[in-house]
Structure 1
Amino acid sequence: MKASIGAVLRLFFAGRRRLLWSGIALAALTVFAGMGLLGLSGWFITATALAGLAAGTALAFDVFTPGAGIRLLALVRTAARYGERVVTHDAALAVIAALRPRLFAGWARPEAARKLLARPARLLFRLTADADALDALYLRVLVPAGAACAAIALAGVTLGVISLPLGLAMAGWLLAAGAGILAWTMRRSRRAACRRAHALEALRAQAIDLVSGQTELAMAGQLAQRCRLLARTEHRLAAADDTINRADTQGGFLQAMAGTLAMGATLAACVLLVAGSAIGAPVAALALLLVLASAEPLTPLRRGILELGRTLLAIRRLAPRLDAPAAPPPRAASGDIRLEHASLGHESRPGLPAGLALADVTLVVRPGERVAVVGPSGAGKSTLLALVAGERLPSGGRVQAPASCLLTQRTELFQDSVRDNLRLARPDASDDELWAALRAAGLDQAIAALPAGLDTRLGEGGLGLSAGQARRLALARLFLRPTRLWLLDEPTEGLDAPTARDVVDRLAGQAHGRTLLIATHIRREAALADRIVVLAAGIVAADLRRGTPAFDHQLHTLRPD
């Protein structure tokens, strides 16, 4: 855990070190100005009252210099507080914004994205709530800690000038009492903060599932049960909140007791010093007010400690994805696809037999070749494409392939404009290039007929387009991607026969000079290939070339158009 915290802090201070330290310095300056303002005001009021007891001292007393100092400290405190808020929040938000691309890069590694996408609510929570919780480490812990240390240091030094034993004793007491209260508060609240985070994540996921699936749940007679589950999760969340609030209240009580003891001890010491003529009453008032003000910065730090358990949980979850991106899988310099004795095991799940999705697969695909990978469901076709794409890593053997573009049977479109959905493939593509890709995919007329054309916004998952139009939009995105290797995983699955044939024809028309690796069990898709590789139970059962009787026979055994 210490390594994870260190990694997050290094990332925080790597790019904006000066800005982050400036925020802590401004927080300390705010505390200095506030304590100085309170102490000087107390000294001034007391000294003025004593000077007014006699006409001679009243006329000789200088009211202008302390008054100017009070006004200056008030202005400094206001400006420093404003600057601290602006600088610290700007720095923290900028760092969090810079960390999110690292999170995406971490989840883009082989295996990582596939595992998280099995639970999309968890992925969303990591990118939003967990990422946002990291700023508490700086805003609610480091900045208040710097301010609290500055307050204790100022109180200790000032009291030390008045009386060295008093200064040392009071600084030691404030430091020890503050550390003890914070440690106690953290011990009482850490588990509750973690339980609250887990309950909140579960509550969001269950609420979304309940709303989106209420029709199916009602038909299955599970709606009431899911509502009771949601109520139990909300009860857990409320219980965690109650524990945290109790810890906050008890911590505040302990802090008030520690401050009262510090004030009492300082008052007793000042009485003795005044009685011994070591100091005057104005200086005693200054000392008392400084001790009173020194406890104020501990309050925001204590409240930050209440959230530290949640922040540490977020760090533990996210730190592995914030490391420097791993080296990409090796690429074949010649442009070949090479699998040498590649194996990949099934993901271990309770109740499923152990085994290999792919076993000792050796395959070479030369640049420009078109290879169809066929076989029954579960033979390992999609797994083979995932290995070549680098989305999964082999458990044995080697896999080398050039950069590729994967078109799956599931069309992934986003709630954004048509233009931005296309530019996922090429961010620098011009409108003319976008229209050319749409024309090649047979979608240009449909998009041109929309009121906003390329600026038409799609709904979630491409809502607003038919299934065939959505597939053509994904096809246009494939055409835009400047790669020589296309990985096609049943690209016409779910389309009606005329649309599917048109998609295949357009793929064939745009595939000149490219390498195709097609996972399919449909004849029209396999007909694009000049080789057919047959997979059975995760092994290569046959490698057939066009022009041979075996190729023609295998082609005609596939599902017809």
Structure 2
Amino acid sequence: MSRNLQTLGQVLRELAHMAPRKLWLGGAALAALTVVMGMTLLGLSGWFITATALAGLLPATALVFDVFMPSAGIRLLAVGRTGARYAERLVTHDATLAVLAALRDKLFRSWAGPQAARLLLQRPARLLQRLTADVDALDNLYLRLLVPAVAAFGAALLLALAFALMHGWLGLLTWVWLLLTGWGIALWHGLRSRKSAVRRAMALEMLRAQAVDLVAGQTDLLMAGQLPAQMQKVLNTDARGARADEQLYQSEAAVTKAYGTVSAITLSAAMILIAWLMEQGRINGPVAALGILLALSAMEPFAALRRGATEAGRTWLAVRRLGPVLAKKSDAEPIVTITQPEQYAIELRQVQLCQLGPVDLTIRQGERVVLMGASGAGKTTLLNAIAGELPVQSGQLLAQRCSWMTQRTELFQDSLRDNLRLANPQACDEQLWSALQAAGLEQDVKVLPQQLDTLLGEGGLGLSGGQSRRLALARLLLSDAPCCLLDEATEGLDSVTAADVLQRLERAAKGRTLVFATHWQREALMADRIVRMQAGRVLMDAQRGTPEFEQAIAGLRADAAKAIPAPATGTATPNV
């Protein structure tokens, strides 16, 4: 419990820092002012009507009765209440929207670190839930809990002061009664509905994920005969959410009855006590009317806590989920130190992470190195580390800025132009066409009606496998990063397409450092060095022209692709 409270405290501190304090405090103060002015308006109106009626019974009293001051006060309260309500809505929502925007920005930055892409691919629905529903749930803390609670406190204080002027102990008793019952009912409702709110939030999250899986994978599910089972899963999840909704509605109906009962008790007790005070001669009729009308409206601000208490369980779940992310320091040490070394493009000294290491490896600028080894040997893990996608547990890793072409071609439902500009947002159309020409995709794009403005479907739908790979290559070449990482760059391509892609890469990437992870001879033939990995360690490091290099080439998969010309003599560099 103490850990949960500590998490809540951290989240509240982070949220408080994301908006100016004057917005937080000003919004709550304006909400309290609006409630107090509304109650005062009702009470003063009752007092004025009653006093005017009694004054009219006697001509002498009617002549001296001042109607101008009360009527002016009523007009002032009416206009002031409207203005305060508008200002309260403006300030509270301004503060809330500013906080939610800053919160999403921080979450994006936090998730843009190592392994971000991998986590996004593994759990897209979960991360989307954090950015949407969970972030939205946090506005409940301010808009539906803090602000109504302060407004209700102001209402209780106003009624207590009014009754204290009638009789001292009556004001204190009223204040304690309203706070205990009003806040107590909200607390009881929040605790009672917490499990149902959490079940509903979990069911909605699962429903979204299952619905996306059903729509996106309906072809595969149908082929596997699992489409009816997936549909039944969606229906079962929806039924669980409906049951949680029903429990929340029942709980909300119960709390509405509770507030209604307390309001009736408060009004009845106020009428009895005011009648007793009138009998004692302590107050007159107009004051009695004022007290009764104030008591009639005193419980309404507390009832506004009902919605916040209903969502309290969902808010608590969001706090637990987002708390660890918000607690992270934004100025944490980077995993990979980006440098501009004079001698090396990449340098690893006793690097260990996951099942990799210790690894010692240096790669000179402009050198072309192939990583080979059986599946699971650590090639992709090493590239992940160099790209900064995996945290290094120990050792030192220095690397120039890298552009990375992964095994999976990542294209987005957007135009060709915007897919290319992911590598260089400032690139002009001339640079885009140049990159497409280097990748061998220029003519394919020029025959399209909209050319660079052609919209791709989800995941690059509309392009063939070879065209998608060429577009990824064009994006790689468009980046000005001095080092390129390629993980199975031609996997899945036919031999002719693969040979053409590699030849274009050979011409376009002159002067850049290239690091390949591959099982194919066609990629290894471009290399100055071959590094064989096994069980996460460097087993062999062979230079071009050595027997070990030729033996390693012979052990890779071959196809009918035209061999890539070997680098000119003297371009190979020794490993230092």
TM-score (norm 2): 0.90
- Displacement of 1:340 in angstroms is 2.8
**Of 278, 299, 317, the match for 1:274:** 278
Q: Does 1:2 align with 2:5?
A: yes
**Of 335, 341, 350, the match for 1:329:** 335
> What amino acid is aligned across from residue 143 of structure 1 in structure 2?
V
- Displacement of 1:263 in angstroms is 1.8
Structure 2 gaps of 5+ residues are: 562-576
> What amino acid is aligned across from residue 36 of structure 1 in structure 2?
T
The answer to whether the Cα contact below 8 Å between 2:345 and 2:513 also exists between their aligned partners in 1 is no
- Displacement of 1:393 in angstroms is 2.1
**Of 468, 472, 475, the match for 1:474:** 472
The answer to whether the Cα contact below 8 Å between 1:199 and 1:233 also exists between their aligned partners in 2 is yes
The answer to whether the Cα contact below 8 Å between 2:335 and 2:392 also exists between their aligned partners in 1 is no
Q: Does 1:344 align with 2:353?
A: yes
Matches within 5 A, 1:77-476: 77-111=81-115, 113-322=117-326, 323-325=328-330, 326-331=332-337, 333=339, 334=341, 335-345=344-354, 356=355, 358-476=356-474
- Displacement of 1:112 in angstroms is 5.4
Q: Deviations over 1:525-550 (max 9, x none)?
A: 12222010011232222101112122
The answer to whether the Cα contact below 8 Å between 1:117 and 1:123 also exists between their aligned partners in 2 is no
Cα distance between partner residues in 1 of 2:63 and 2:380: 95
> What amino acid is aligned across from residue 343 of structure 1 in structure 2?
Q
> 2:571 aligns to what?
none
Cα distance between partner residues in 2 of 1:160 and 1:13: 36
Cα distance between partner residues in 1 of 2:176 and 2:27: 26
> 1:31 aligns to what?
35
> 2:564 aligns to what?
none
The answer to whether the Cα contact below 8 Å between 2:366 and 2:512 also exists between their aligned partners in 1 is yes
- Displacement of 1:245 in angstroms is 1.3
Cα distance between partner residues in 1 of 2:13 and 2:455: 40
- Displacement of 1:332 in angstroms is 5.9
The answer to whether the Cα contact below 8 Å between 1:329 and 1:400 also exists between their aligned partners in 2 is no
Helix, strand or coil at the partner of 1:461: coil
| Percent identical residues | 54
Cα distance between partner residues in 2 of 1:504 and 1:527: 10
> 1:353 aligns to what?
none
Helix, strand or coil at the partner of 2:349: strand
Going from structure 1 to structure 2, the CA distance change for 1:320 and 1:163 (only over 3 Å counts) comes to same
The answer to whether the Cα contact below 8 Å between 1:332 and 1:338 also exists between their aligned partners in 2 is no
Q: Deviations over 1:451-473 (max 9, x none)?
A: 33333322211222222222222
- Displacement of 1:193 in angstroms is 0.7
- Displacement of 1:330 in angstroms is 4.1
> 2:49 aligns to what?
45
Q: Deviations over 1:295-333 (max 9, x none)?
A: 111122121111011011112112222233332114264
TM-score (norm 1): 0.92
Helix, strand or coil at the partner of 1:342: strand
> 2:484 aligns to what?
486
> What amino acid is aligned across from residue 324 of structure 1 in structure 2?
K
The answer to whether the Cα contact below 8 Å between 2:336 and 2:388 also exists between their aligned partners in 1 is no
Going from structure 1 to structure 2, the CA distance change for 1:446 and 1:41 (only over 3 Å counts) comes to farther
**Of 64, 69, 83, the match for 1:65:** 69
> What amino acid is aligned across from residue 344 of structure 1 in structure 2?
L
Cα distance between partner residues in 2 of 1:557 and 1:268: 99
The answer to whether the Cα contact below 8 Å between 1:166 and 1:266 also exists between their aligned partners in 2 is no
- The count of residues paired between Structure 1 and Structure 2 equals 550
Cα distance between partner residues in 2 of 1:215 and 1:486: 36
Q: Deviations over 1:498-527 (max 9, x none)?
A: 322222122222322222211111122122
Q: Answer with 531-540 or 112-121: which moved more.
A: 112-121
Helix, strand or coil at the partner of 1:297: helix
The answer to whether the Cα contact below 8 Å between 2:27 and 2:92 also exists between their aligned partners in 1 is yes
> 1:519 aligns to what?
517
The answer to whether the Cα contact below 8 Å between 1:331 and 1:403 also exists between their aligned partners in 2 is no
Q: Answer with 263-272 or 303-312: which moved more.
A: 263-272
Q: Answer with 286-295 or 82-91: which moved more.
A: 82-91
Cα distance between partner residues in 2 of 1:328 and 1:394: 10
- Displacement of 1:188 in angstroms is 0.5
Q: Deviations over 1:3-58 (max 9, x none)?
A: 33233323322242223333222222221221121111111121122122223323
- Displacement of 1:554 in angstroms is 1.4
Going from structure 1 to structure 2, the CA distance change for 1:533 and 1:242 (only over 3 Å counts) comes to same
> 1:350 aligns to what?
none
Structure 1 gaps of 5+ residues are: 346-355
Q: Deviations over 1:182-219 (max 9, x none)?
A: 22111101111111111111112222222333343344
- Displacement of 1:76 in angstroms is 1.9
Cα distance between partner residues in 1 of 2:216 and 2:130: 21
Cα distance between partner residues in 2 of 1:376 and 1:245: 58
- Displacement of 1:116 in angstroms is 4.8
> 2:572 aligns to what?
none
Cα distance between partner residues in 1 of 2:323 and 2:480: 33
Going from structure 1 to structure 2, the CA distance change for 1:154 and 1:528 (only over 3 Å counts) comes to farther
